[in-house]
């Protein structure tokens, strides 16, 4: 009976070692995979993956009070204050935006800068994505 247990223990250790070796080889193979080489072109062309956000909001004051962004009749995407330098971008086809203090943020609609709001003034508007 002692010999059978010893053989079983040796078999278990051999299986664990085999699994470790297979895992290590797979990991090394994944890390050694060369990066795909992209062809460099003389002119830069926009790609389909370079989406322009429907709305982009950047906080330019120390604190930007309550900035609300929502899908009309749907989800609230943002309902909070923002800090200096913080940016948010949303790509939904239509968005409702409410700025508690329009003078504290910089807004771009479909990649184009929106006229700055007046300090301390509340501003509400709807943005539709460009086609």
CA–CA distance, 83 with 28 (Å, rounded to integer): 43
Residue 41 resides in a domain = no
Residue 38 resides in a domain = no
- Indicate whether 21 and 61 sit together in one domain: no
- Indicate whether 60 and 109 sit together in one domain: yes
C-beta neighbour count of 92 within 10 angstroms = 18
Q: How many independent structural domains does the chain possess?
A: 2
Q: What pTM did the predictor assign?
A: 0.61
Q: Which two tokens stand for residue 10?
A: 């040796």
Query: What would the pLDDT profile of 63-77 be if each residue is shown by its tens digit?
Result: 999 999 999 998 999
Query: What would the pLDDT profile of 97-118 be if each residue is shown by its tens digit?
Result: 999 999 999 999 999 999 999 9
- Indicate whether 123 and 76 sit together in one domain: yes
CA–CA distance, 109 with 56 (Å, rounded to integer): 7
Q: Which two tokens stand for residue 93?
A: 């086809």
Q: Which domain holds residue 25?
A: 1-32
- Indicate whether 60 and 124 sit together in one domain: yes
């Amino acid at each position: 009976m002692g010999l059978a247990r010893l053989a079983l223990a040796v078999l278990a250790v051999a299986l664990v070692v085999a699994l470790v070796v297979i895992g290590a080889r797979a990991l090394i193979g994944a890390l050694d995979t060369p990066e795909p080489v992209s062809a460099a072109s003389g002119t830069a062309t926009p790609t389909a993956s370079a989406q322009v956000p429907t709305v982009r909001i950047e906080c330019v004051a120390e604190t930007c009070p309550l900035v609300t962004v929502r899908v009309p009749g749907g989800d609230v995407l943002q309902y909070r204050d923002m800090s200096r330098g913080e940016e948010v971008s949303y790509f939904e086809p239509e968005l409702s935006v409410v700025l508690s203090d329009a003078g504290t943020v910089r807004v771009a609609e479909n990649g184009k800068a929106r006229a700055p709001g007046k300090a301390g003034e509340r501003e509400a508007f709807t943005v539709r994505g460009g086609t």
